[in-house]
A and B are shown apart, each in its own frame.
Chain A
Amino acid sequence: MKGSLFQENRMADQETCSIGGDLACVPALNARLGPGCVLTGAEDVIPYGFDATAALKQRPGAVVFPKTTSEVVDIVEIARRHRTPIITRGSGTGLSGGSVPVENSIVMCLLGMNRILELDTRNLTLLVEAGVVTQDIFNQADAAGLLYPPDPSSMKVSTIGGNVAENSGGLRGLKYGVTRDYVMGLEVVLADGSVCWLGNKCVKDVAGYNLRDLFIGSEGTLGIITKVLLKLLPKPAARRTLLATFGRMDAAAETVSAIIEAKIIPCTLEFLDRKTIHCVEDYARVGLPLDAEALLLIESDGHPAAVEDDVTRIAALARRHGAIEVNCARDAVEAAQLATARRSAFSALARLKPTTILEDATVPRSELANMIRSIQEVAQRHGLDVATFGHFGDGNLHPTFLTNERDADEMRRVELAMGEIFERACEFGGTITGEHGVGLAKKPFLRRQLGNASYALLKAIKRTLDPDGLLNPGKVVDA
C-alpha cells in the first residue's frame, strides 16, 4: 500500500517534537522578512501542517508571511539556493491536500498580501492581491453595485489566490461559471524568481498563448500568484429562492434535467440528501424538512419579470416531477439563511463520524441520476456510510464518506469505493474532480482520466516551468 492516499498522514506520527528551524535557509529568510514573518517553533508550524482535507498532515520546517511581490521573489530565490520546497498557501481550506507541506519545506502563507488595489468602475474590474479573502471581494463589488459571482462555500475564509489556484466553483456556477471565467489577469512569480503579468483589462486579447489560463487551477505547482485582476458584473436587479422537497433522490435529479431541458438557467441548483439535510438542520436550524429524501435549493436572478417567470416555471416542473412541496423564501434574509445553511453542508456532516472524506466527482448533467445510483450502490457494496450533496446544476456531486481514519479496514474500503466512483464518473464522461483539484488526494486517479498523452503533456509543462521541483512538489503529478 506504499504511497497510498492515507499513508501520508502517518509520516507526521513518527516524528516526535522535532523543532523546525533547522532549515538552512531560515537565517536568510529572517534577515529578509524581519521578525514575526518567519515561524519555526513546533507550536507555530504544526497548525500549518494540513488543510481541510481529511487524514493528511505533515509538519513544515518553516512558515513565512510575505507582504509584497518583491518579498515573494526573494523567498523564492532563497529557497532555490537552498533547494527547499515552497508550499504556497492561502487559508488552507483546500479539499485535495493542495497546501499540505512536504518534509522540510517552507509554507508561504499569502494572507499578509491582502490589499484591494484598484476598483475600476469604467472597465468593471477589480485588482487585488492574492491573499484577499473571497468574501471581501464580493463585498467590495457589492458596495459598488457590482457582482463578483464565484462563491465557493468557503468564501468567508478562502483567498482569491487559492480560488484561482483551484479554479474554484460555487453555488452560482450554473449560470455564472467558475473562477476562471472572472480572471482577466494575473501576476505570477515563477520558480526562477521572474515576475510575469499575464492578461490585461481588454475583453479580447489573442497575443501569444493563453498563459493566464495555464496558471488557473495549477494548484501552486507552476508559479505563485501574487495579484489577480478580476472581472465584475452588474448586480442583478432581482433574485428569488425556492426550496423543493422530494421523497426520492431520482425525482430531484429528474427535476434538474427537466429544468435544463426547458432552457431555464437558474443561478443556483443545489442538492442535499437526507443525511445532509439532517446534519445541516442540526447546525443551522432554518427549518429544513426532516422527512425529505432530497432537497433542491434553487435560486434565480436577473430582471424582475424574468425571475418571476423562471420561478413559476421551475416550481411547476418540480411539482410535475414529484416534488412533495415547493416553497419560496419569504425575503432576502430567509434566502440568505438558506444559502448559509447549504454552505455549511460539508462541515456539518462531520457531526456524524470522526472522519469526513469528501469527493468531487462530476458528470454531464444528463448522467446525474445514474451517478447518484452508482454512488449508492458502491457504498452499499463496501458497507460504507455515505452522504451526498452538491452543485446539481453543474453535475458536480460531493459524495462524502463518513468514517474513521483510525479504522484501517474501513479506510481501505473507502479507498476502494472512491476508486470505483471515479471509474464510474469517467465512464459517464465525467471528471474525478469538478472543483477541488487533484492535489494529493486525487493524484493516483489523474492518469486514468487524462489518458497517457495528455498526462505526459502535463508532466512536460511542470518540468519546464519548475525544473528543480521547488513549487508544491508531489501535488497533481510527480514530475
Chain B
Amino acid sequence: MSPLALLQALDYSVLQQCMHCGMCLPVCPTYAETGKERNSPRGRIALMRAVADGDLSTTRAFADEMSYCLGCLACTSACPAGVDYAHLLEIARTHVEESAVNATRTRNLVRRLTMRWLFTRPGVLRMAGRLLWFWQRSGLDTLSRRFWLTHLLPRRLRELEPNTPRIQWRFSDELIARNEPAVGKTRHRVAMLTGCVQDLVFSDVNRATVDVLRENGCEVFTPRRQHCCGSLHAHNGDLETARFLARRQLDAIDPTKYDAIISNAGGCGSHLKHYNRLLADDPDYAGRAEVWSRKLRDILEWLVEIGFREPRNDAGGVLPVTYHEACHLCHGQKVSAQPREILRSIPGIELVELKEATWCCGSAGIYTITQPDTAARLQQRKLEHLRASGAGVVATANPGCHLHIQNGFRAADGRAPRVVHPVVLLAEAYRAERDSVSRQSN
C-alpha cells in the first residue's frame, strides 16, 4: 500500500460533512436488518473517518462492512447535510482493495477475469453472452441441472446459476442502426448508450428507447460495440479500470456533438453522470468529461425535459401498474417524479403506488453474489409489497432490479406479474396509437 492510503489522502472535509445527526438511520436497509450502528451510513462514515484518522487500521472487519453496504444511496436522499456518500463508498472500497486485506488467490483471479478482462472487452463479453444463449437454448442448462452437472461449480455460483438471465439472441447492434432519424421534424440529436447487461439481456429495452426517442423528435446515434460504462468497477473498488473505461467511452462518443447522451439503466446512469469527477485529474479528458456529465440524461428524465408527447389511443380497460424505484435512479440521480409522469400519461394504465417503493430490492450491483442472504431477504420484502399492490405489471428502470425481481417471482409459486421498463410501455403505447390510426384509415 502506498504510504498515504486513499482514505487518508481524501479531502477531509468530505468526511467531516457528516455531522452524525442520524437522520439517515431510518432509511438504511442494512441498519434496519441489524440495528447496529456500524451497519448504518453514520456508522460506516465513522469507520472511514477512524481509518483516515489512523484510529483504526484497514481490518478485515472494515472491509466486510464496506462490502455489506448495498451502495443503494438511500442515505444520500435522506441526508440534509449533503454528504456525498457515493463518493465516500467508492473511495473506501478502493482503499480496501489496495490494502489487499481481502485478497486470496481465487478472489484475485475472479476479479481479474471478470472486472479486468471480461468487462473491459466488449467483443469478449458479447461472445460470452452468445455462449450463454446457446447453453440456455439447447436445453443443456436444464439437462445438466437435472444430472447435477452444475454441482461441479463452486457452491456460490451453483446457487446463482438458475438466476442467470435469459440471454437475448439479438443484441442491440443488430436491432438498432448506427443512425436513426427522428420521426417528423428533428428537434434534438442524441447519443444512445446500450449498456452491457441491458444489451445482453434487455436489448428490447434499448430498441424501445430508440423508438421513443425518435417519436419525440430525436435523431439517435448509437455507436457500435460499446464498452462497459465502468460502474461495476467504480462501485467495487477498481477506480483505475473505471477510469480506463470512462476514457474509452469518451473516445467513442464526443459529447459536444449531441444535445444529450442517453442512458436507460439507472445504475449505469448514476455512474456515467460522475465521469467529470472520475476524470477530474486527467488533463486530456477532464474537459470532455465535464461536458459529458452535463449532457448525460436518463431516458425518463430526458423525455420529461423535452416535453414528451403523450400517446393517444382509446385503450379499453384499466391495467394497474406499480413502479419500483431503482436506487440509482431515485437516490443516485434523483429521478423519481418523471417515471410516474410517463406512466400516468399512458392510456389504459392506472399507476398504483408501491409501499416502500424506494427501498432497495437487494439486487444492488453484484450484491447477490457478495451478500446472498441479505439480497434474498430484501428481495422477499420487495416481493411482498409488489404482491400487496395488486398490480399485474411492475415497471422498473434498471436491469439489475428487473432481473432480481423477475427471478424472485419465478422462484415463488403463483402468478408472476410482468416486469418491464417504463420506456417499453411507452413504446408499446405509441405503437398501439399507430395501429389504431392505421385501422381507422383502412
Contact = CB atoms under 8 A, between A and B. Distances in A.
B187 to A, nearest CB: 28
A351 B81 contact: yes
A166 to B, nearest CB: 14
Contacts of B12: 354, 406
Interface string B41-68: 0110011001001111101011001000
A52 B35 CA distance: 18
Q: Return the 8 tightest CB-CB contacts between A and B, nearest first.
A: A47-B43, A47-B37, A347-B80, A350-B81, A354-B16, A344-B80, A348-B80, A350-B19
B54 A16 contact: yes
Nearest to B38: A47
A47 B42 contact: yes
Interface size class of A (residues with CB under 8 A): 35 or more
Given A93-B21, A112-B35, A347-B23, A47 B47 contact: yes
Given A42-B61, A404-B16, 19 more contacts: A13-B53, A13-B55, A15-B55, A16-B55, A43-B38, A43-B56, A43-B59, A43-B61, A43-B65, A46-B38, A59-B55, A154-B22, A157-B25, A283-B80, A345-B80, A347-B81, A350-B21, A351-B17, A356-B19
23 contacts: A41-B61, A43-B47, A46-B43, A46-B46, A46-B47, A46-B56, A47-B42, A47-B47, A50-B20, A65-B35, A154-B21, A157-B23, A157-B25, A157-B26, A344-B23, A345-B80, A347-B80, A348-B81, A348-B82, A350-B21, A354-B12, A355-B16, A406-B12
A157 B40 CA distance: 13
Nearest to B43: A47
Interface string A32-48: 00000001011110111
A447 interface: no
Q: Looking at A47, A133, A282, A405, which has the most chain B CB atoms within 10 Å of its CB? A: A47
B56 A42 contact: yes
A439 to B, nearest CB: 15
Contacts of B2: none
Contacts of A157: 22-23, 25-26
B79 interface: yes
Interface in A1-57: 12-13, 15-17, 39, 41-44, 46-52, 54
Interface of A: 12-13, 15-17, 39, 41-44, 46-52, 54, 59, 65, 91-93, 111-112, 133, 135, 154, 156-157, 280, 282-284, 344-348, 350-351, 354-356, 404-406
A112 B34 CA distance: 10
A52 B20 contact: yes
Contacts of B65: 43
A156 B25 CA distance: 9
B36 interface: yes
Contacts of B40: 47
B47 A52 contact: no
Contact of B50 (A46, A154, A356): A46
Contacts of B26: 133, 135, 156-157
Contact of B21 (A17, A112, A347, A351): A347
Interface of B: 12-13, 16-23, 25-26, 35-38, 40, 42-43, 46-47, 50, 53-57, 59, 61-62, 65, 79-82
B124 to A, nearest CB: 39
A154 B25 CA distance: 11
A91 B24 CA distance: 12
B82 A154 contact: no
Contact of A17 (B16, B37, B42, B55): B55
Contacts of B42: 47
Contacts of A47: 36-38, 40, 42-43, 46-47
Contacts of B17: 350-351, 354
Contacts of B57: 17
B81 A46 contact: no
Q: Looking at A50, A51, A354, which has the most chain B CB atoms within 10 Å of its CB? A: A354
Contacts of A345: 80
B21 A49 contact: no
By secondary structure, the B interface counts as loop
B23 A46 contact: no
Nearest to B19: A350
B85 to A, nearest CB: 14
Nearest to B26: A156
A216 B23 CA distance: 24
B402 to A, nearest CB: 29
Nearest to B65: A43
A92 B19 contact: no
Given A13-B55, A15-B55, A46-B46, A346 B37 contact: no
A342 B380 CA distance: 35
A159 B4 CA distance: 40
A345 B19 CA distance: 13
B323 to A, nearest CB: 19
A16 B55 CA distance: 5
A351 B82 contact: yes
A4 B209 CA distance: 62
B95 to A, nearest CB: 15
Contacts of B13: 354
Contacts of A282: 82
B36 A154 contact: no
A126 B408 CA distance: 40
A12 B49 CA distance: 12
A283 to B, nearest CB: 5
Q: Looking at A42, A65, A156, A280, which has the most chain B CB atoms within 10 Å of its CB? A: A42
Nearest to A43: B61
Contacts of B19: 52, 54, 347, 350, 355-356
Q: Looking at B13, B22, B62, B82, which has the most chain A CB atoms within 10 Å of its CB? A: B22
A120 to B, nearest CB: 27
Contacts of B23: 154, 156-157, 344, 347
A282 B56 CA distance: 34
Given A43-B59, A347-B19, A92 B37 contact: yes
A350 B23 CA distance: 13
Contacts of B54: 16
A214 to B, nearest CB: 28
Q: Looking at B12, B17, B47, B80, which has the most chain A CB atoms within 10 Å of its CB? A: B80
A52 B46 contact: no
Contact of B46 (A49, A112, A154, A405): A49
